[in-house]
Structure formats: C-alpha cells, structure tokens
C-alpha cells in the first residue's frame, strides 16, 4: 500500500503543545500536511497560559523541513483558530479536537465552576472550532473531524462526572456531524485513547505508562483523517497497540401488546426479558436514511407501527 500522504492538506490540531496532540502534529507534518499547532499552554487544570508550548512544536516541525504555524487561542475562540489556518494556508481540511483539561472531583464535592469549565474546554471548544471549519469543509466537499473521547466517556470513572459528561458528549456530537456532513464528504469519528502524557503520568504505574506511547494512537487518527478513509460516525478505543471499534448493542427487547397494561408493574414483571441480550441487535440508528433502513430501525418504531391508530387500551385506567 502506498503511503497515506497529507500533502497540501491543512490540519488544525487543538491542544497540540504536548502529549498526544504534539505527536499528531509531528506526524501530520512529516506526511506533508500544513499544521496549525493550537495550544494556549495552560496547566493541566486549565489555569494560565504560555505560547512556548505551541512554539516548541512548530520549531520542531520546521527544523525537520515541515510546514506549521502556532496558534495560542483558547478552543472556545474556535473561529480565531480557523482564522489562523485560513490566513496562513488558505483553508482547513482536517480538525483534530484534542484539547483538554482535568478538574477531577467526587460528585459530592464538585463545584459548578469545575463542572462547566471541563465541559467548556472539551465539548464547547470542539463545537466552536468545528463550527468555524464547517463552511470550508462543505464548500470544498472535503472535511475530516476526529473527536477525542475517553474510556471515562464510555464507561464512567470515579471523580470524573464533568470529564465523562464532556467526553460522551463528544461522541454524540460526532455521530450527528457524521450524518449532516455525509453528502459533503465530511467524515466525523471519535477515539477513546489511553496514552502516556501529563494526564496519566501521575495515575498509572511506570511499567504501564511505558507501553502507552502516543505513537500507538496516532496511526488511527491519521487514517481516520485521510481522504481514503470513508469511516463515518464511528467510535474507536485505542491504546498500547490495541485498535478496536465500539458500537451500541440493544437487547432483543420486549414489545408490549395493546392488550397488556403499560404500567410500572408490567415493566417490573418482564424486566429480565428486557435485559436479555440473547437476541440482541447492533442498532444503526438513522445511519442510513433509506426508508427501509428507517423501517428496520428500532423496537420503538416497531411498537408504534404495530399499535392500532389512536390506541388507548394500554393507558392506565
């Protein structure tokens, strides 16, 4: 297979002054991309700022003969980051929503400020950058978006209600972007990585950290960003050399008939059937808008179809 080149492609990588984003930047540049290295250079909790973080990466790219420009804006000023891309390189083809902070706290103790700030940087920041890039994607009939979720966004994690909420929000965000962008050759996917960085270096033991290099995450990000890849609206877990796809699974479910009462007690009685995954499906909700696919979609619509019109027989008396 020939090398996946990014020659003349313009990529914005947010939070690219360190960790995963830095490594992505170097790799995109090595393959010919023009890279906007965005980072406001703050602390892990989002405090402060320093232009040095992005500058170091840009200098490294340039020293290796690559093309890059530094951008020090907060992702919440997404339009300014896209402006940097357009001013320097004429457009933007790829957005890697990677910037992030941590403000961990048990839910009992979390403050509204810490809850909102984490949602702001991860989720609203991704929204702002992506929305500013969207018109360019549509106009040129080409765009790639990679959102960065986390295992905490998929499964939850103690002390991270803010982070988990933001990270699972990024999944839904990409899933809908994928639908809306499909006909413009815009593809949006999400990764849930685990990697060695300042986010993990105080949490995980050194022998594990050693195996979690960013070079094991970057290949998937590069592939999902390439014009050859048609993957859209999907979620991937990636760490330590493992690459896997995550998808939803729905139990076979129970279809209550009109002659059954729709009550909490009826649900309780059949709850073990509701939880039974023996006949499970992998739902493809609205992925395919062909009427037949929509027809096949969910037990919900199936139930609606099978009920006689204006049926009230199951309503509580």
117 makes contact with ligand NAI (CB under 6 A) = no
162 makes contact with ligand NAI (CB under 6 A) = no
Residue tagged active-site, from 9, 22, 167, 216: 167
Stretch of residues binding ligand NAI (CB under 6 A), selected from 189-197, 245-253, 267-275, 281-289: 189-197
Check if 113 is active-site: no
246 makes contact with ligand NAI (CB under 6 A) = no
**Cα angle 40, 186, 216; round to 5:** 55
Stretch of residues binding ligand NAI (CB under 6 A), selected from 83-91, 192-200, 245-253, 272-280: 192-200
Binding-site residue total for ligand NAI (CB under 6 A)? 32
Stretch of residues binding ligand NAI (CB under 6 A), selected from 174-182, 193-201, 223-231, 255-263: 193-201
The residue sitting closest to ligand NAI, measured at its beta carbon, is 19
Question: Which of these, 196, 107, 100, lies nearest to 156 by C-alpha position?
Answer: 107
Check if 163 is active-site: yes
Distance between CA atoms of 234 and 280, rounded to whole angstroms? 19
Smallest separation, CB 135 to ligand NAI (Å): 21
Look-up of token digits 């406001």: 40
Distance between CA atoms of 176 and 173, rounded to whole angstroms? 6
- Counting every residue written for the chain, the total comes to 317
Contact 4, 228 (CB under 8 A): yes
Distance between CA atoms of 105 and 219, rounded to whole angstroms? 33
70 makes contact with ligand NAI (CB under 6 A) = no
Tokens of 277: 């995954």
Look-up of token digits 């592939």: 223
- Please report, as residue ranges, which positions from 296 to 315 form the binding site for ligand NAI (by CB under 6 A): none
84 makes contact with ligand NAI (CB under 6 A) = no
- Cβ proximity to ligand NAI: between 43 and 293 the closer is 43
- Cβ proximity to ligand NAI: between 149 and 232 the closer is 149
Contact 67, 29 (CB under 8 A): yes
* 48 Rama sector, left if φ>0, alpha if ψ -120 to 50, beta otherwise: left
- Strands laid side by side in the 94-97 sheet: 67-71, 34-38, 10-13, 94-97, 143-148, 186-193, 235-239, 242-246
Q: How far is CA 200 from the centre of its chain?
A: 19
- Cβ proximity to ligand NAI: between 85 and 199 the closer is 199
Smallest separation, CB 60 to ligand NAI (Å): 14
143 makes contact with ligand NAI (CB under 6 A) = no
Positions in the binding site for ligand NAI (CB under 6 A):
14-15, 17-21, 38-42, 44, 46, 53, 74-75, 98-101, 121, 125, 148, 150, 193-195, 197-200
List the catalytic residues.
Answer: 163, 167
């Amino acid at each position: 297979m020939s090398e996946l080149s990014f020659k003349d492609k313009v990529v914005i990588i947010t939070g690219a002054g360190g960790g995963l984003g830095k490594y992505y930047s170097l790799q995109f540049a090595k393959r010919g991309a023009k890279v906007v290295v965005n980072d406001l250079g703050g602390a892990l909790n989002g405090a402060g700022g320093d232009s040095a973080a992005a500058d170091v990466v840009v200098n490294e790219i340039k020293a290796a003969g690559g093309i890059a420009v530094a951008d020090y804006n907060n992702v919440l000023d997404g339009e300014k980051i896209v402006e940097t891309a357009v001013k320097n390189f004429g457009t933007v083809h790829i957005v890697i929503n990677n910037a992030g902070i941590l403000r961990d706290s048990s839910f009992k103790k979390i403050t509204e400020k810490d809850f909102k700030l984490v949602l702001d940087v991860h989720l609203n920041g991704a929204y702002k950058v992506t929305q500013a890039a969207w018109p360019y994607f549509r106009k040129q009939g080409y765009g790639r978006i990679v959102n960065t979720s986390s295992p905490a966004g998929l499964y939850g994690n103690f002390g991270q209600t803010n982070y988990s909420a933001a990270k699972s929000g990024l999944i839904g965000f990409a899933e809908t972007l994928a639908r809306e962008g499909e006909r413009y050759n815009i593809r949006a996917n999400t990764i849930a990585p685990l990697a060695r960085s300042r986010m993990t270096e105080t949490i995980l033991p050194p022998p594990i950290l050693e195996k979690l290099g960013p070079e094991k995450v970057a290949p998937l990000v590069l592939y999902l960003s390439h014009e050859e890849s048609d993957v859209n609206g999907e979620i991937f877990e990636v760490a330590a050399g493992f690459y896997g796809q995550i998808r939803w699974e729905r139990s076979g479910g129970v279809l209550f008939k009109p002659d059954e009462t729709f009550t909490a007690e009826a649900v309780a009685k059949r709850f073990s059937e509701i939880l039974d995954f023996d006949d499970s499906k992998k739902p493809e909700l609205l992925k395919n808008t062909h009427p037949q696919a929509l027809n096949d979609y969910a037990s919900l619509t199936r139930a609606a179809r099978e009920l006689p019109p204006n049926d009230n027989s199951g309503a509580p008396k």
